[in-house]
Amino acid sequence: MATEAFEDFLKKKKEEDKKVDWEGRRNKWIKTVNDFYNNIHKWLYPFVSQSLLQIKIKEILVSEEYIGSYKLNRLDISIGNDVISLIPRGTLILGSYGRIDMKGPKGDKIIVEQKWNEWRFVTKTAKRELWDVNEESFKAAIQDLANG
Amino acid sequence: MAKISLSRKEKSIDSILNWYEDQVEALRDLKNKIVRAVIYSNAGVKVNPKFLELTIGEIDEYFENSEEELNHLVCFDLISATEALLRVDYYDKISKKDKSPVGREFRVINKKKRNKVSLEDDIVTTWKTATGDTSFSNFLGLLKYRHWLAHGRYWQPKLGRQFSVDIAYEISENIYDVIAVKS
């Protein structure tokens, strides 16, 4: 009887796990992050071509419960002596499909993927504010996070 | 005798432990609710907005810190309840002119110190000397820990051991047992 109950418990847990397509979730997250990076490259290309800034890509390992470990890129945007980094934190985030942290000498910003391929900045203050990530807001964020 | 009006509102260590178990369960239920909302992208679940944007690792860390804080506060409560037991017993022994060695020693202390009796130096040390029970030495260690908690934890404590709710409860329970036998 105890063995049957244990087996039922294990079967139930397996069913629960099946309900979530972890591999599909991970692949979609990786793809949308790469699409987002492509947009950033487009937005910044005119400045890269004038050698006013540099974008370096570094492969990192992201580890998430349920999903496991996978490789994803971080972007390091160099402007003079400052580096602004975009570091993907994962897709299992409360309230969104993923999060990228944007870090610079003057602080951090959080970017979330609220719907697939819809990226927004979010403040972690008491009054939570969200605004779209687009060419204009992204450049403004770089200026906010860099010295000077 | 030192004039003190006793409230008789002391808490029992069992009621504290019972409350602690409820809080741990509630914290774990809340954590599970939030983690499930992350896993199933369940937008319908109402959660405190402070958890938005957190990864599962950050949620784990948040709740580990919450449990650690709960442990500190519950230890504080257990130690305070045991202090109340020791002090009430002290006043009872004096008012009843208790004839036990501990009671006699308490009356000597009371004559000397009146209402300035020290929990550590007088009450606990008297019990420790009279019974030789290690629970009282352990309780002195717990009092150092409570002192650190009560004064805002601003220094690095030298406690000699890590205290937990289980340890604080065990030490307190032993003291209750010793006092019940000797009273």
Nearest-angstrom CA–CA distance, A86 and A51: 20
Q: Which residue has the higher pLDDT, B133 or A8?
A: B133
Chain A residue whose CA is closest to B42 = A95
Using a CB-CB cut-off of 8 Å, the residues of chain B touching A124 are: 53
Q: Is B140 exposed, middle or buried (0-12, 13-18, 19+ CB in 10 A)?
A: middle
* Residue the block writes with tokens 């045991």: B82
pLDDT digits (tens, 9 = 90+) for B27-73: 999 999 999 899 887 656 788 889 999 999 999 999 999 999 999 99
Q: State the nearest Cα–Cα gap between B54 and chain A, in angstroms.
A: 5
- Three-class DSSP category at A109: strand
* CB proximity A91 to B under 8 Å: no
* CB proximity A67 to B under 8 Å: no
Q: State the nearest Cα–Cα gap between A7 and chain B, in angstroms.
A: 23
8 Å CB contact of A94 and B49: no
Instruction: Write down the pLDDT at residue B169.
Output: 98
Q: State the nearest Cα–Cα gap between B44 and chain A, in angstroms.
A: 10
pLDDT at A148 over 80: no
Token pair belonging to A8: 């039922």
pLDDT digits (tens, 9 = 90+) for B158-183: 888 889 999 999 999 999 999 987 66
Instruction: Write down the pLDDT at residue B49.
Output: 87
Instruction: Write down the pLDDT at residue B103.
Output: 95
Q: Which helix (H) or strand (E) holds A86?
A: strand A82-90
Ordered DSSP codes for B109-159: HHHHHGGG--IIIIIIHHHHHHH--HHHHHHHHHHHHHHHHHTTT-S----
pLDDT digits (tens, 9 = 90+) for A72-88: 999 999 999 999 999 99
Task: Quote the mean pLDDT of chain B.
Answer: 92
Q: Which helix (H) or strand (E) holds B70?
A: helix B56-95
8 Å CB contact of A65 and B56: yes
Using a CB-CB cut-off of 8 Å, the residues of chain B touching A112 are: 53
The residues, any chain, with a CB within 8 Å of residue B67's CB and separated by 6 or more, are: B24, B27
8 Å CB contact of B55 and A89: yes
Chain B residue whose CA is closest to A93 = B55
Using a CB-CB cut-off of 8 Å, the residues of chain A touching B39 are: 20, 66, 92
pLDDT digits (tens, 9 = 90+) for B76-112: 999 999 999 999 999 999 999 999 999 999 999 999 9
Task: Quote the mean pLDDT of chain A.
Answer: 92
Nearest-angstrom CA–CA distance, A75 and A55: 7
* Residue the block writes with tokens 């499930």: B36
* CB proximity A122 to B under 8 Å: yes
* CB proximity A14 to B under 8 Å: no
Nearest-angstrom CA–CA distance, A110 and B149: 35
Residue B14 — very low, low, confident or very high, per pLDDT cuts 50/70/90? Answer: very high
pLDDT digits (tens, 9 = 90+) for A95-121: 999 999 999 999 999 999 999 999 999
Token pair belonging to B74: 């519950």
Instruction: Write down the pLDDT at residue A12.
Output: 78
Confirm if A120 and A112 have CB atoms less than 8 A apart.
yes
pLDDT at B2 over 60: no
Instruction: Write down the pLDDT at residue A78.
Output: 96
pLDDT digits (tens, 9 = 90+) for B117-153: 999 999 999 999 999 999 999 999 999 999 999 999 9
Q: State the nearest Cα–Cα gap between A135 and chain B, in angstroms.
A: 23
pLDDT at A1 over 70: no
8 Å CB contact of A93 and B55: yes
Chain A residue whose CA is closest to B51 = A94
* CB proximity A94 to B under 8 Å: yes
8 Å CB contact of B53 and A90: no
8 Å CB contact of A94 and B54: yes
